[in-house]
Chains A and B, each alone.
Chain A
Amino acid sequence: MAWLVVRLAISVSLLYAASAVFEDQVGKFDWRQQFIGKVRFALFDTHSQASKKLLVATDKNVFASLNSRTGDLFWRHVDKTGPEGHIDALLMYGQDAVVVVGNGRLLRSWETTVGGLKWETVLDTGSFQAAALVGVQDLVKYVAVLKKSAISLHDLSSGSQIWGENLPDSDSVQYQTIYSGENGLVFVLGIVPNSHIVIVEYKIEDGEIMNKKSVEAAWMSSLESSCAVVSSGILLCVDQITQSLYTLPLQSAEQTEMRQIHLQMLDLEVASGFRPVLTSTQPNPAQPPLSEFFLQLSPDHHILLQFKDGLIALLRDFSPVRTNACSINLFSADTGRKHLDTTIIYHMDPNGGKPNRLYVHAFLKKDDSVGYRVMVQTEDLTLTFLQQPGRVVWMREEALADVVTMEMVDLPFTGTQAELEGEFGKKADGLLPMVLKRLSSQFILLQAWLAHLWKLFYDARKPRSSVKHEVTIDILSRDEFNLQKMMLMVTASGKLFGIDSKSGTILWKQYLENIQPNSVFKLIVQRTTAHFPHPPQCTLLIKNKDTGLGSLYVFNPIFGKKSQISVPTLPRPVLQTLLLPVIDQDYAKVLLLIDDQYKVTAFPSTKNVLQQLQDTASSIFFYLVDSSQGKLSGFRLRKDLSTELIWEVVIPTEVQKIVAVKGKRANEHVHSQGRVMGDRSVLYKYLNPNLLAVITESTDTHQERSFVGIFLIDGVTGRIVHEAVQRKARGPVHFVHSENWVVYVYWNSKFRRNEFSVLELFEGAELYNSTVFSSLDRPHAPQVLQQSYIFPAPINTLEATLTEKGITSRHLLVGLPSGNILSLPKMFLDPRRPELVSEQSREENLIPYAPEMPIREEWFINYNQTVSRVRGIYTAPSGLESTCLVVAYGLDIYQTRVFPSKQFDVLKDDYDYILISSVLFGLFFATMISKRLAEVKLLNRAWR
Chain B
Amino acid sequence: MTSPGGGALAARGGATVKRMKWSLELSLGNSRNRGDRQSKDGDVMYPVGYSDKPVPDTSVQEADRNLVEKHKRQALVCVCVCEAFKLLESSSQQWLQGLVYLIGNLLGSALAIYKCQSMGLLPTHSSDWLAFIEPPQRLEIMGGGMVM
Contacts and interface: CB of A to CB of B under 8 A. Distances in A.
B52 interface: no
A547 B143 CA distance: 24
Given A682-B126, A682-B127, A942 B136 contact: no
Interface in B65-123: 120
Contacts of A578: 141, 143-144
B32 to A, nearest CB: 12
B140 A769 contact: no
A676 B136 contact: no
Given A673-B130, A941-B60, A769 B144 contact: no
Contact of A625 (B60, B125, B143, B146): B146
Interface stretch (A189-197, A198-206, A614-622, A729-737): A614-622
Interface-central residue, B131, B138, B140, by most chain A CB under 10 Å: B140
A416 B127 CA distance: 45
A681 B130 contact: no
B131 A680 contact: no
A774 B130 contact: no
Given A627-B147, A773-B136, A689 B142 contact: yes
Contact of A574 (B125, B142, B148): B148
Contacts of B140: 619-621, 690, 716, 774-776
B148 A575 contact: yes
Interface in A738-787: 767, 769-776
Contacts of A574: 148
Interface string A712-739: 0001100000000000000000000000
A395 interface: no
A347 to B, nearest CB: 37
B141 A769 contact: no
A711 to B, nearest CB: 14
Contacts of A677: 127
Given A677-B127, A942-B21, A576 B144 contact: yes
B145 interface: yes
Contact of A680 (B125, B137, B141, B143): B125
B142 A690 contact: yes
A355 interface: no
Q: How large is the interface on B (under 10, 10 to 19, 20 to 34, 35 or more residues)?
A: 20 to 34
A616 B134 CA distance: 23
A423 interface: no
B135 A669 contact: yes
Contacts of A775: 140, 142
A672 interface: yes
B23 to A, nearest CB: 11
B44 interface: no
Contacts of A771: 134, 136-137
B24 interface: yes
A825 interface: no
B136 A715 contact: no
Contacts of B138: 689, 772-773
Contacts of A716: 140, 142
A793 to B, nearest CB: 28
Contacts of A672: 130-131
Contacts of B144: 576, 578, 594, 622-625, 715
A535 B35 CA distance: 69
B133 interface: yes
B127 A576 contact: no
A623 B142 contact: yes
Contacts of B21: 942-943
Q: Is the interface of B mostly helix, strand, loop or mixed?
A: mixed
A520 interface: yes
Contacts of A682: 125-127, 130
A625 B141 contact: no
Contacts of B57: 941, 944
Contacts of A772: 136-139
A624 B148 CA distance: 9
Nearest to A659: B146
A9 interface: no
Contacts of B135: 669-670, 673, 687
Contacts of A522: 148
A541 B144 CA distance: 14
A568 interface: no
Nearest to A550: B148
Contact of B127 (A670, A680, A767): A680
Nearest to A674: B130
Contacts of A579: 143
A627 B147 CA distance: 8
Nearest to B137: A772
A680 B124 CA distance: 10
Nearest to B21: A942
Nearest to B141: A620
A848 B128 CA distance: 25
Contacts of B130: 672-674, 676, 682
A543 interface: yes
B24 to A, nearest CB: 7
B59 to A, nearest CB: 10
Interface string A651-687: 0000000101101000001101110110011100001
A626 interface: yes
Contacts of B134: 770-771
A770 B133 contact: yes
Given A627-B147, A941-B60, A616 B131 contact: no
Given A624-B147, A625-B147, A681-B127, A770 B136 contact: yes
A616 B141 contact: yes
A938 interface: yes
14 contacts: A520-B148, A576-B147, A578-B143, A592-B143, A625-B145, A625-B146, A674-B130, A715-B144, A772-B138, A772-B139, A776-B140, A938-B60, A941-B60, A942-B21
Given A626-B146, A771-B134, 9 more contacts: A543-B148, A580-B143, A582-B141, A624-B145, A625-B145, A682-B130, A771-B136, A774-B140, A943-B21
- Minimum-distance CB pairs A-B, first 7: A578-B143, A622-B144, A774-B139, A680-B125, A623-B144, A676-B127, A773-B136
